[in-house]
Structure 1
Amino acid sequence: MVSGLRGGACIVRIGLTDQEVTQRIHQGQVNKLPQAPSRTIWEIMRANLFTSFNLLNAILAAVVFIAGSPKNALFVGVIIFNTFIGMFQELRAKATLEKLSVLNVSHVNVIRDGQEQSIVTEQIVMDDVMILNPGDKIAADAVVLEDSKFEVDESLLTGEADPINKQEGAEILSGSFVVAGSGYAKVTKVGSATYAAKLASEAKKFKRINSELQGAVNKLFKVIMWLVVPIGGMLIWTQLMFTHATWQDAAIAAVSGIVSMVPEGLVLLTSATFVVAIAKLAKHRTLVQELPATEVLARVDMLCLDKTGTITEGKLDLVDVKLLGHESKQQVDTMLAAVVHALPSMNPTQQAIRDRYQNAPDIEVKNKIPFSSDKKWSGAVFADKGAWVLGAPEMILMDEYKQVQQLVEQEAKQGRRVLLFVEVNEGALLQGEIREPRIVALLLIADRIREEAPDALRYFAEEGVSIKIISGDNPITVSAVAARAGVQGAENYVDARTLPDNVEDMTKVVDQYTVFGRVTPHQKKLLVQALQSQGHTVAMTGDGVNDVLALKEADCGIAMANGSDAAKAVSQLVLLTSDFGVLPKVVTEGRKIINNLEKVSVLFLSKTVYSILLSLIFSVLLMPYPIMPIHVTLIGGLMIGIPGFFLALSPNQDRVSAGFLKRVLSISIPNAIILAALTIIMFIYAHKTGHGIREARTLAVLVLGGTSLVVLARLARPFSPIKIGLVIAVSLLFTAAFLTKLGKEIFMLTSLSSIVPALLLILLSWPLLSLLNRLSAKLTKQA
């Protein structure tokens, strides 16, 4: 004999025997859940280690080592550092998610061999009998057994917030919750066969985030890879055959040209800047699972939000009690408190009333009738206080509903749920019927808007980000809630059941509405695809299994920490406090990253372009290459890498616009032409006037580094004390490399007999850069 119902009758249940459990385990009929759709440790390591970028640099480093000049291989340190930054961040995010999953491990009560046992959800087997009570999470698909009745919240699966009545023979799905009622359910599907697992499995393939920054760098790298072989071959041939250099010197010169062409520092700086942003966002309890997620969110111009859990807390508030009878407010408050404390189950609506009336009055309860979704009311009979009923007005009053219909509909249009409180015939209520209802009050219940939601929505509206509310709830209710939260255009709503079922037709109508109600999981994905087909960059927030497909499809998926593991696994951002209000902070960080990196990218790509020009020109001139790999490290580190990092973290909240690569190249190419031209002039002059090759190279490095410093100063505008200090600091360090014995030794520099021509060329670079950049800007604007 087992008491499976708290406060209910004792029901004889045997459940499965130990032998039957063992048999099902051997048959694989266990509730072993499929792994969340995230990458394994090996997949993360492989994706970061084995890239064409790393392969190229590894080969170049090997060539330099074989040629006997290991100091010229210092450039490979940047590559190693960049690789480990990417791996560290992804592994950290994976560990955080797994920790969240462990903390969320749930238990379930089952009956086995006639005894109640508590087991973890993954130990459930087929045909287990689960004991379910209010607040329990349903761990596997099951069927409701006799003498059992539940109110089930399936919002994580369907998006529908209202509880659903489940009686004997009804199917209940894993991932849903019991909000009222108690009883038994027999497991019918386990593990990957459950509804939730099947829905989540559609999103199993890992999707890398679409980053314009990384995409632009990858495009450049592909072009550079095509140039590496012919230019490298030309350099080796000319250095070996026409400059009388040894094969070692020829190889090092070729490596120098190739390394200069590859913007490895830009890849590192991008990753490092993302990591700094991620560390800042961690203080706001935001987990960034992929480095470019902040960038993509900053580019978003369409934000799709779920109602429950995003703009609302998922809880209800009793906002008003309108007295319609002769009772005083105190009398009504007393009886409402008595009724709500007398009821055995606690659904969200009852909880909202109980939050207002926290203390139960000292009134004897003779009988009580719990709420159920078929009758939509609950009631209680009290000694010397009569019988009272609370519930849906139309179900209580039936034919007399007209008395309050206008009032009810008025409030419903504002998104409020309306309950009627009446006194009824005591004898009839004891029989489960309502007779002679006397109207006492109307209770107005509303979704609790998240405190931070209006400010966050206002921020996005001001920043030109359009909002779409996508929910499984009634569209009228969602529209009213969205309007209260401050969503612009919330009055434009539609029932998604009337929408087309293909992307092409959906694209034609998606702009007409702001609020979409009664949306299925597959429709959410369809809506995201339709918006993307119009050229929008789409972010999607969600917490349930029903959101997984859309989160996966969106350019940036944002999951709430209190949601399902599948939702968190496919998202790029996880809000660990489920606080929608942190998103503006993420956008601010993203904008700072993109706008500043766009400036800094000019430094890196100028180096790439001038290296290509130098390699081609010196191959044609049949002269020694003027720059060694160690010189590339010196100029790249001081004039580009170090200042670039600080510039990338400067305050910047300008809006982000498309066309990153075009804008950067329109500045980088003119810069590179001037840098290459002045370096060539200096080297040829030194070479033809009898200076040795080492001194000619030292002069070339001085001119190239000095003009790179001019480019840096121009990009640092508008100047601030920090930026001025930065330019002065790198100038001093660069000068130290030429004046100190250690600097000369490390960077293969020599003493100079004359530096006047070099200084004149450096001074000349500012007006030349100004002239050519103005010309480029005009041409770009005309194009």
Structure 2
Amino acid sequence: MSITVQASGATGLTAAEVERRRSDGLTNDVPDRASRSVREIVRANVFTRINAILGVLFILIVATGSIIDGMFGLLIIANSGIGIIQEIRAKRTLDELAIVSQARPTVRRDGKSLELAPREVVLDDLIELGPGDQIVVDGVVVESAQLEIDESLLTGEADAVDKKIDTEVMSGSYVVSGSGAYRATKVGRDAYAAKLAAEASKFTLVKSELRNGIDTILKVITYLLIPAGLLSIYNQLFSSKESWRPAVSGMVAALVPMVPEGLVLMTSVAFAVGVVRLGRRQCLVQELPAIEGLARVDVVCADKTGTLTENGMRLSDIKVLGDVDDAEVRTALAALATDDPRPNASVQAIGEALPDGPGWQHTAVAPFSSAKKWSGFSYGEHGDWLLGAPDVLLDPASEDARVAEELGSSGLRILLLARSDRPVDAPDAPGDVAPAALVVLEQKIRPDARETLEYFAGQDVSIKVISGDNAVSVGAVASSLDLAGGEHAVDARELPDNRDALADILDRETTFGRVRPDQKRAMVAALQSRGHTVAMTGDGVNDVLALKDADIGVAMGAGSPATRAVAQIVLLDNKFATLPYVVGEGRRVIGNIERVSNLFLTKTVYAVLLAFLVGLAGVGSQIFGYEPIPYPFLPRHVTIAAWFTIGIPAFILSLAPNNERARTGFVPRVLRLAIPSGVVIGTATFASYLVAYAGPNAGEQQKEQAGTTALITLIMIAVWVLAIVARPYVWWKVVLIATSVAAYLILFTVPFTRHFFKLDPSNIRLTIAALIFGAVGIVLVEAAWWISAALRGEKGQLLPPAPSGGT
């Protein structure tokens, strides 16, 4: 008898019925991705707190009539423009890649099966199902051939659920085994899949150590801005006794550098550029900080099939057992391969080698499932045939089992063809098994697998090979790739359930076979319990739970839609060798943003300190009766001070190559350089200004000379901080620093720029004083860097280490 049962209307909707539902709005038309629209991107990048602060200060400076001093207003355009451009570029790349990797359900209409995009599904559509298919809308089963659904993402239960006629299926679940069809009862935003897709494919900067660290820093800066800002406003508008125009200019000049306007911008740019770069390598990053997360990973759990080996297989040999006829074996194998509606890689290899099926009529079918690890067909008078794992179907003590294990130890995949004494769909199947033949299949190891494993070994990243295949076979593949410990493969059926005991074994061993889906999940949890950051790679439905629980889930593009839906990273070209590039991008982002943060926060520290010192001097003048001291700089001075010490260098450094290993403790490391450097710059600048300041009755030239003196001191030390941040030196970093120095020499020596920016270094005595204060500041900043490195037990490096022989 046939196991497949069909409900009425099995031909699906007609074209007219589909059109009627479309006109009624009964479609699954939901956004392909949960990315922000262009309008939302523009709004988010323009209406920011930093832009609001700069905008108010720009309006104030324009009110004084000095447009030139409002050049910092260009930062608003730069902040918004660069952020908008990069995010839109990243959005388009991600959206294009998402379309490529999108699950396409098979829908039956007018009796024909069509592959459609999920948004083209309409209410009452008949959707066909097979192993690995994702259920894209809610519905009711109308056909079932031993259909088993994994609803773990909905219920948390790992066991597959048998789905018979008229039972409900929920979007967000996946087919484990069997086949069938269901009628769509909820589509569009009513279906659970819409919410799942929005969450899994969100284009957002989710929480990460880098983002959290920057948020913490900005929070502290906000608290510092309030008293420093109020003090600057009081000093410039009330105690300095200057007219309102220069007073407002001084106030704006004091407040502008306190705002780390480029820090968040550079972080977003670095993330977005990383995503675009990886997109060109056919790597879909579904969540931006995933590239940071993979850079922090110290354990990679790799599935064997599809990751270390290619999905495709080749029939190598058929070893007939006992006195069974070879022709009968080949005929049975051809029948099994031909009749399987959803053949896996092993059955496909058999079908390619034995394409001519005998045309037997099957009376029962048992689809393959990862739980029982065998499949079968009953062919009436031609017998009941099984195809599955030898170590499951054979007596472990038999000679046939020994031969199968010996063959499997060489890295071959071995299947057993056997007869059963009962129908394959019997409740107690497989029953008594009579071995007929061992089917020997070759697995092709990916040519880039060895190089990728060597890369991770060189980066102190542990590899755990976790597979549902025979442990000996998995160990053979691992050994052929020279994976440490690969020769000691562990059979997962002997693993303990206790998490601590499991974690102990995972610390010692590297290769595991016969791992159930729930065990993969338990392994990830056990590793995480020991403080490891875990990445999980996979391509099958049995990998979904582990991918979802891992810190970073990496799915293969050719894998099941289920794995692609829950993974943060999808390798659309199915190349395991792409992962080192992802790690490299993560390291580039983390390392470069740390460098950039040093520059921006150093500026904030010295700006806040300088504002406090000038403000306190103003308050002291009211108390002790001495002449008040105005802020030393015009807004244009603050702008050019940031041009070549922070702005342009920071942008270049944020995009530069960087392969430093990711480390925790981002905030303390940044502050260890930024605070002492900022304090030295602020103190030295204020001291040089006190030496040069000629009092409130000084002429315009004397005021320009005093401001220029302070600016020279500030720029000298700030450029040296840039030189420290750029270490270790390579040729382009030296060129970058030299260019910054040359640019400032031009600004201070060319008559036009001197006049335009109100710079006057003509007073030799004051200029020499500025150089002396700058030199002292450089010595102090350099000493602080070396002392900080010594306290951390690190060795300060001026040059990059000599290349080693490793990858």
Normalising TM by the smaller chain, what interval?
A: 0.7 to 0.9
Cα distance in structure 1, aligned partners of 2:478 and 2:296: 25
Q: In angstroms, what is the RMSD of aligned CA positions?
A: 5.5
C-alpha distance in structure 1 between counterparts of 2:602 and 2:744, whole Å: 19
Please show how residues 469-618 of structure 1 align to structure 2 within 5 Å: 483=478, 491=489, 510=503, 512-513=505-506, 517-519=515-517, 524=521, 535-541=531-537, 556-562=552-558, 572-618=568-614
1:237 maps to a residue whose letter is Y
1:428-476 Cα offsets, whole Å, 9 max, x none, are xxxxx99x999764113476655434433443343233456778x5896
Tell me which residue corresponds to 1:372: 365
Percent identity over paired residues? 36
Structure 2 CA distance for aligned equivalents of residues 200 and 712 of structure 1: 44
Whole-angstrom CA distance in 2 between matches of 1:408 and 1:136 = 32
Match of 1:657, SS state, is coil
Partners of 1:551 and 1:392 lie apart in 2 by 26
CA positional deviation for 1:687: 1.3
Q: Which moved more, 1:207-216 or 1:565-574?
A: 565-574
Counterpart residue number, 2:691 = 685
Instruction: Tell me which moved more, 590-599 or 336-345.
Output: 336-345
Aligned to 1:428: none
Deviation at 1:638, TM superposition (A): 1.0
1:322–1:25 CA distance, 2 compared to 1 (3 A): same
Match of 1:670 in 2: 676
Residue 636 of structure 2 is aligned to residue 626 of structure 1: no
Instruction: Measure, in 2, the Cα distance between the counterparts of 1:418 and 1:545.
Output: 22
**Structure 2 length-normalised TM:** 0.75
Report deviation, 1:736. Answer: 1.0
Query: 1:213-228 alignment to 2 at 5 Å?
Result: 213-228=210-225
Q: 1:22 to 1:165 in 2, by over 3 A?
A: same
1:243 aligns with 2:240: yes
Superposed, 1:681-720 pairs within 5 Å as: 681-688=687-694, 692-720=702-730
Structure 1: runs of 5 or more not aligned = 426-432, 501-505
Distance in 1 (CA, whole Å) between partners of 2:717 and 2:403 is 77
Give 1:421 deviation, angstroms.
5.0
Secondary structure of the 1:226 match is helix
Which is worse superposed, 224-233 or 452-461?
452-461
CA contact (8 A) 1:145 1:169 kept: yes
CA contact (8 A) 1:221 1:262 kept: no
Amino acid at match of 2:722: L
Q: Out of 643, 663, 666, which is 1:660 matched to?
A: 666
Kept in 1: contact 2:278–2:284 (CA 8 A):
yes
One-letter code aligned to 1:642: I
Given that 1:699 and 1:752 are in contact with CA atoms closer than 8 Å, whether structure 2 keeps it comes out as: no
Call closer, same or farther: CA 1:168–1:493 in 2, change over 3 Å. same
Secondary structure of the 2:762 match is coil
1:734 Cα deviation from its structure 2 partner: 0.5
Deviation at 1:309, TM superposition (A): 5.0
* Aligned residue in 1 for 2:440: 444
Question: Structure 1 residues 182 and 296, CA, compared in 2 at 3 Å: closer, same or farther?
Answer: closer
Tell me how far apart the structure 2 counterparts of residues 59 and 275 of structure 1 sit (CA, whole Å): 29
Please tell me the residue identity of whatever aligns with 2:365.
Answer: S
Aligned twin of 1:429 = none
Residue deviations 1:157-178 (CA, integer Å, cap 9, x gap):
8999999998767877767899
Q: Give the alignment partner of residue 635 of structure 1, picking from 633, 641, 645.
A: 641
Aligned counterpart, 2:626: none
- How far apart in 2 are the matches of 1:49 and 1:565? 37
- Once residues 203 and 735 of structure 2 are traced to their aligned partners in structure 1, the CA distance between those partners, rounded to angstroms, is 45
Residue 230 of structure 1 and its aligned partner are, at CA, apart by 1.7
Report deviation, 1:73.
2.8
Task: Say which of 242, 254, 272 aligns to 2:251.
Answer: 254
Q: Distance in 2 between matches of 1:532 and 1:597?
A: 27
Q: Distance in 1 between matches of 2:789 and 2:120?
A: 67
What residue number does 1:58 align with? 55
In 2 relative to 1, CA 228–201 (structure 1 residues): closer, same or farther, beyond 3 Å? closer
2:642 partner letter: G
**Letter of the structure 2 residue corresponding to residue 285 of structure 1:** Q
Q: Deviation at 1:737?
A: 0.7
Deviation at 1:265, TM superposition (A): 3.2
The structural deviation recorded for 1:645 is 3.5
1:451-510 Cα distance to aligned partner (Å, 9 max, x none): 434433443343233456778x5896997598467776774575799858xxxxx68855
What SS does structure 2 have at the residue aligned with 1:376?
strand
Cα distance in structure 1, aligned partners of 2:676 and 2:559? 51
Q: How many Å apart are 1:340 and its aligned residue?
A: 6.8
1:722 pairs with 2:720: no
Give the C-alpha shift of residue 284 in structure 1: 1.7
Q: CA deviation at 1:662?
A: 1.7
Q: Which residue of 2 aligns with 1:752?
A: 762
- Structure-1 residue corresponding to 2:781: 769
DSSP 3-state at the match of 1:264: coil
- 1:464 matched to 2:460? The reply is yes
Q: Name the aligned partner's letter for residue 589 of structure 1.
A: E
Amino acid at match of 1:750: D
Contact 2:86 2:273 in 1 (8 A): no
Q: Does 1:211 align with 2:221?
A: no
Stretch moving more, 445-454 or 608-617: 445-454
The change in CA–CA distance for 1:116 and 1:366 in structure 2 (over 3 A counts) is closer
1:396, 1:570 → 2: CA distance?
31
1:529 and 1:776, CA in 2 relative to 1: closer, same or farther beyond 3 A?
same
Find the counterpart in structure 1 of residue 343 from structure 2: 347
- Kindly report which structure 2 residues correspond to 1:33-432, keeping only aligned pairs within 5 A, or say none: 38-39=35-36, 44-100=41-97, 102=99, 104=102, 106=104, 108-110=106-108, 120=116, 129=126, 149=145, 208-288=205-285, 292-304=289-301, 309-311=306-308, 313-318=310-315, 320-322=317-319, 324=321, 343=339, 345=341, 347-348=343-344, 349-355=346-352, 357=353, 360=355, 365=358, 367=360, 369=362, 372-373=365-366, 376-377=375-376, 391-392=387-388, 402=398, 404-408=400-404, 418-421=414-417
Q: How many matched pairs?
A: 752
Structure 1 window deviating more from structure 2 (30-39 vs 635-644): it is 30-39
**Cα distance in 1 between the residues matched to 2:172 and 2:786:** 61
**Does the Cα contact within 8 Å between 2:594 and 2:670 map onto a contact in 1?**
yes
**Which residue of structure 1 aligns with residue 802 of structure 2?**
none
Distance verdict in 2 for CA 1:620–1:169, change over 3 Å: closer
Relative to structure 1, the CA distance from residue 575 to residue 337 in structure 2 (aligned partners, 3 Å threshold; closer, same or farther) is same
How far did residue 256 of structure 1 move? 1.8
Measure, in 2, the Cα distance between the counterparts of 1:399 and 1:719. Answer: 65
Show structure 2 runs of 5+ residues with no match: 368-373, 422-428, 619-628, 795-807
Q: Is the 2:205–2:289 contact (alpha carbons within 8 Å) kept by the matching residues of 1? A: no
Single out whichever of 220-229 and 201-210 deviates more from structure 2. 201-210
Q: Deviations over 1:698-729 (max 9, x none)?
A: 12112211222233334444444333332222
Q: Deviations over 1:529-576 (max 9, x none)?
A: 776675544445566898788767765454544567787677654433
TM-superposed deviation, 1:254: 2.1
Per-residue CA deviations over 1:293-316 (Å, capped at 9, x if unaligned) read 433322233445566654555555
Deviation at 1:735, TM superposition (A): 1.0
In structure 2, what is the Cα distance between the partners aligned to 1:204 and 1:716? 36
Answer whether contact 1:144 1:168 (CA < 8 A) is retained. yes
Alpha-carbon contact 1:273-1:645 (below 8 Å) kept = no
Per mean C-alpha deviation after superposition, the further-off stretch among 153-162 and 48-57 is 153-162
In 2, Cα distance between equivalents of 1:315 and 1:601: 48
SS in 2 for 1:372: strand
Q: Distance in 2 between matches of 1:318 and 1:164?
A: 33
- Say if 1:366 and 1:381, in contact at 8 Å, map to a contact too: no
